[in-house]
Structure 1
């Protein structure tokens, strides 16, 4: 049987925590399951644990810092950050998996489907069972992660193909038939014409949705070709590409820390700025001011608009979250994916302008 093994669950939802605990109790090895609400609580317990922790399982979405930032902070703060770290993600992607691997995460498991808990426990199992000869092989962990990344890439490509082709065809057929039948109605504005108008609008939104999903997947692929770009110049260029109305842009390129330069895919970085600007303009008052400035390891984009309600802060980067009925809610999700493709971090910070402040860090800017 061996000695008791200890697994620390960080930020795992109660239902998942109960299912994981139940599944671990079925192993031959005796397992004690501990929990921490967030990364800071986990770091505190890891700094001076009463008993050694054999495996760490963390959700990606955590209060304060996400799971990837948690892994980096663990490496920075702990004298011996050698405890195996498994990331249990709800909204995964190829770029997120690559970022996790780069941050020192040893395992990556998606929380989807009926057997997610079983997959997670099977990933934990080699870390807590007494006999683990394969663990000493230097390339074993990397090979496992590489297989997971390859599977993730193939799965995402299947989804992209389905959206780009398999769903596009019936959408085009429906649009064509709608145009055909709409010619049978007069322009009196009766209920039939109104219904056709609503159907046409709905099909248009589906069409935009498919375009957005396809773009989101493409932009989330890890960047494999990048150049050194001037952040101030790209920030100004992105502003000229969109309808800014009476909004104002302020680029702080002569302050400290300076915006400087970053190694990036210029087109994707332009898209990131455009989405941040659109978000500020669409949610701000008329004449909103948008400010771009430097951070010690990145940059920020903030505005003096009404800001984001506290109960919505955790959701703003999720797909489909939007306060506008004519928007599909991909803007800030696209920002997150572009950042992840560069292995950057994106978060919401406190804005001196009392609006919304988005911070992009990990760019290793060069002044």
Structure 2
């Protein structure tokens, strides 16, 4: 980043925020209307965005979400005497920071600080991690494919060949999981109302589990990105089949604050329930231990909570609290 910070300011001409930043040392500010924000961000030459939050005339959170769809730069909202729940709403939406207006020097200092250290912003940090994870996964698979190809040309004892094949396959799976976790770590910026029943049924229909049974009693909907909700159900269903067997019965039900996925398998021991959402923690022989970890990362990104208990049939039950 250049020594001079390129800052877009969404404020009225002569407004408090614009007045503070337009002549600030080391900050090249450009004032724009909210309607022009996403178009202006498309050029990739902005270090930070500052938005005066003045609902309902100017809803800074809505403008922030629109900006996030175009760029991963830090976004500050500035309000004059905002209510605590307004700050909470903005922070929960993922803004870099909500600044309560005090004086111009303090605002300028925050702009310079966040622009200099963009990874202090959770979205920018997640975007870089996703790019790194995807790139590493792709690059590492090239030498992995070379090893696999050369192995086919060698005269290796069958016992050793099977062990090597399993290890190479596991490395490939772990690389895929790395890329997946990186993508899912991004903050949610475009949620929609989705039917629990529709998404769960569709995901189940694409699984190759002819002897297993799904029962969906949930009729409500949730606010989520469809890709993440599908991934969450895929992981929960796969976990139920892996631990409950090919003939497992799975139920998706509704609760007062969300929904649950339960099965009639062997369940999860009390001693393991605090660890099942950890990365790499698995009890199945063929599993990699990332299924429920991915579920937790999706829930965190959506602002949800997940817990594990015992189902009525004695199997596992994962509660997803969405409110």
TM tier relative to shorter chain: 0.5 to 0.7
CA gap of 1:340–1:145, structure 2 versus 1, over 3 A, is farther
Aligned partners of 1:330 and 1:233: how far apart in 2?
A: 25
Deviations 1:170-223 (A, max 9, x none): 212211211222xx46xxxxxx23212321221122112211221222123222
Give SS of 1:302's match. strand
Calculate the TM-score normalised by the size of structure 2.
0.60
- Using a 3 Å threshold, how does the CA distance of structure 1 residues 277 and 151 change in structure 2: closer, same or farther? closer
Q: What is the TM-score when the length of structure 1 is the normalising length?
A: 0.54
Deviations 1:290-324 (Å, cap 9, x if unpaired)?
A: 11111222111111222111111111112222222
Q: Any conservation in 1 of the 2:133–2:179 contact (CA below 8 Å)?
A: no
The 5 A counterparts of 1:22-171 are 101-102=91-92, 147-149=120-122, 150-151=124-125, 153-165=127-139, 167-171=140-144
Runs of 5+ unmatched residues, structure 1? 1-80, 82-98, 108-132, 186-191, 254-258
1:38 equivalent in structure 2: none
Map of 1:340 onto structure 2: 300
Partner-residue secondary structure (3-state), 1:293: strand
Residues in 2 aligned to 1:100 and 1:205: alpha-carbon distance in whole angstroms: 41
Change (3 A) 1:264 1:353: same
Query: In 2, Cα distance between the equivalents of 1:245 and 1:157?
Result: 37
User: What SS does the corresponding residue of 1:207 show, helix, strand or coil?
Assistant: helix
Structure 2: runs of 5 or more not aligned: 1-83, 98-102
**What is the RMSD of the two structures over their aligned residues, measured on CA atoms?**
3.6
CA distance in structure 2 between the aligned counterparts of 1:172 and 1:157, rounded to whole angstroms: 21
Q: Partners in 1 of 2:90 and 2:158 — Cα distance?
A: 52
Q: Secondary structure at the match of 1:233?
A: helix
1:252–1:151 distance in 2 versus 1, CA, 3 Å:
closer
* Corresponding residue number in structure 1 for 2:264: 304
Equivalent in the alignment of 1:221: 186
Q: How does 1:125-274 map to 2 (within 5 A)?
A: 147-149=120-122, 150-151=124-125, 153-165=127-139, 167-181=140-154, 184=155, 192-253=157-218, 259-274=219-234
Work out the CA distance in 1 between the residues paired with 2:317 and 2:201.
Answer: 18
Q: Confirm or deny: 8 A CA contact 1:222 1:340 kept in the other structure.
A: no
SS class of match (2:319): strand
Q: 2:287 aligns with which of 291, 304, 327?
A: 327
Q: Does 1:284 align with 2:253?
A: no
